[in-house]
Structure 1
Amino acid sequence: MDAMRTKIAIVTGAGSGIGRAVALELLRTGWSVALAGRRAERLEETATLAEATLPEGPNPNKAAPTGSVCVRADVSQPDDVTALFAATQDRFGRLDLLFNNAGTFGPGGVPFEDLPYEAWRHVVGTNLDGAFLCAQAAYRQMKEQDPQGGRIINNGSISAHTPRPRSAAYTATKHALTGLTKSLSLDGRPYRIACGQIDIGNAATDMTERMQTGALQANGEVAPEPVMDAADVARTVRHMAELPLEANVQFATVLATTMPFVGRG
């Protein structure tokens, strides 16, 4: 990746949580970012927050448009994904990074035997189908653009390694994302497309807010869990993103230091 050229990213799920934190970190450090998500008003909030973080002027090096563009998109819908990548191409002219972040946990606390099929399909559609659709669109664009190549980073979660109780749909999709990451890493080699995965544990977001008051543990108890600042995750994503394409962080795990994950808690 040419260090003198403005770098272009798509961040899905950019309206809140980890997606917003990553988008702000990239914008703060000179990237141009297409902010994607289902709620246009939340994307606009992210763009407004970013205004103070942009480098001096709208286009300091005149090499390419900088800043952000908001694109309302449901990543589980192929037409929305097509429109997202077309809008990014029209605005910025290429793509250097896809942060495949959009996801949902689904209904919490539901025993496996009572999990509705519709809820299963919603989680799979967002977390896995959405990641596939966006990765495929990015892969096609990165393969054809000049200079060729780019990077895809998938948000895997530590649930790609170890499940929480009553999380079958979420855990299944995150395990599947690990397989997708490995396949993309292999298939992308001839085209300078690198793919890595970040597995995150207990970043402080709306999705993890309940963990600070009490989360169901494997032994049946409910206990509060520590969280970490989502900005720490964002800096890790940026490190992965800014490596030259000759180097790749295949898997990274970032978690609240004392959360119950390693060993017995």
Structure 2
Amino acid sequence: MAGSLLDGRTALITGAASGIGAATALVLARHGAKVVIADINEEGGRRTVAAVEKAGGEADFVWADVRQADAVRDMVAFTVRRFGRLDCAVNNAGVDTAGDGRFHEVSEESWDASFEVNLKGVWWCMKYELAQMLEQGSGAIVNVASVAGLVGIEAPLVSPYIAAKHGVVGLTKAAALEYATSGIRVNAVCPGAVRTEMVDGLIAQGIMTLEQTAAYHPLGRYANPSEIGEAIAWLCSDAASFVTGLPMAVDGAMTAR
């Protein structure tokens, strides 16, 4: 593969069986990284591995449920055993928990389901990733938040998701400050609408339409998952060596209004 930006680096990507995670794995591998694909969907995860290898990259799969501390600890340990270190961690695993109704109708089950993966899952990942990076004395973490972590979204059914993604931005800033002198950078990407399986599911539920959601973005379209992957690759690289604590909007100017 082309290499250069991330040559010699090892990257761990959660939720990489599909969508932004799978696209990011291909992008990071193209930039020279060895990638570990982590997901609860083994079939999808191994498809991503095969796609990376077909493109000339090096990858492996590890099953991991980010809701389980032991699984996350083992995921990080697997990465270090397989490739020797952990240079880049992309905490992408997330769920869409829409369905209960408006804010006052949201169930405790829906709220907990969103926070368990979208926020606590990121916290578990960062906890073990940071410990490994401290041992190495270096590393870069990129959390996948959302524009919903920067602003409110005028759509029903998504208040738990918005709250959790704001929490991811908060975790990112807190960790960036705490580890700034430890050789570890922590940033977040905040995508607008990206054409993934999750967005297709929201469309199928009637929560949004392609046309309505594209119109949120002054660029007038959805993002391609690989466009988010390129932003992540840059944040992982030495080209972003003075960038930490940043919630980077990759949103076609949606939040510039």
Structure 1 CA distance for aligned equivalents of residues 178 and 83 of structure 2: 26
State the shift of 1:199 in Å. Answer: 0.5
Partner of 1:182: 173
Partner of 2:43: 41
State the shift of 1:54 in Å. Answer: 2.1
Structure 1 CA distance for aligned equivalents of residues 182 and 106 of structure 2: 41
Structure 2 CA distance for aligned equivalents of residues 37 and 118 of structure 1: 22
Instruction: Tell me the amino acid that sits aligned with residue 85 of structure 2.
Output: R
Partner of 2:217: none
1:94 and 2:89 matched: no
Q: Would you say the 8 A contact 1:193–1:245 is kept in 2?
A: no
State the shift of 1:235 in Å. Answer: 1.0
Partner of 2:126: 135
State the shift of 1:202 in Å. Answer: 0.8
Q: Deviations over 1:62-90 (max 9, x none)?
A: xxxxx111011110110110110111111
| Identity within the alignment, % | 29
Q: TM-score, normalised by structure 1?
A: 0.84
Instruction: Tell me the amino acid that sits aligned with residue 231 of structure 2.
Output: T
1:252 and 2:243 matched: no
Question: Larger Cα Rg: Structure 1 or Structure 2?
Answer: 1
State the shift of 1:262 in Å. Answer: 4.7
Partner of 2:218: none
Matches within 5 A, 1:1-265: 6-55=8-57, 67-108=58-99, 110-145=101-136, 148-164=137-153, 165=155, 166-209=157-200, 215-216=207-208, 223-225=212-214, 226-243=221-238, 246-248=241-243, 250-256=246-252, 262-263=256-257
Instruction: Tell me the amino acid that sits aligned with residue 212 of structure 2.
Output: A
Q: Which runs of 5+ in 1 are unaligned?
A: 56-66
Question: Which has the larger displacement, 224-233 or 43-52?
Answer: 224-233
Question: Which has the larger displacement, 31-40 or 106-115?
Answer: 106-115
State the shift of 1:248 in Å. Answer: 1.4
State the shift of 1:245 in Å. Answer: 7.0
Structure 2 CA distance for aligned equivalents of residues 161 and 88 of structure 1: 31
Structure 1 CA distance for aligned equivalents of residues 148 and 85 of structure 2: 32
Residues matched between the structures, number: 243
Partner of 1:62: none
Pair 188,224 (structure 1): closer, same or farther in 2 beyond 3 Å = closer
Bigger helix fraction: 2
Q: Would you say the 8 A contact 1:34–1:68 is kept in 2?
A: yes
SS at structure 2 position matched to 1:191: coil
Q: Would you say the 8 A contact 2:144–2:189 is kept in 1?
A: yes
State the shift of 1:109 in Å. Answer: 6.0
Q: Would you say the 8 A contact 2:100–2:106 is kept in 1?
A: no
Pair 4,243 (structure 1): closer, same or farther in 2 beyond 3 Å = closer
Partner of 1:60: none
Q: TM-score, normalised by structure 2?
A: 0.87
Structure 2 CA distance for aligned equivalents of residues 191 and 223 of structure 1: 44
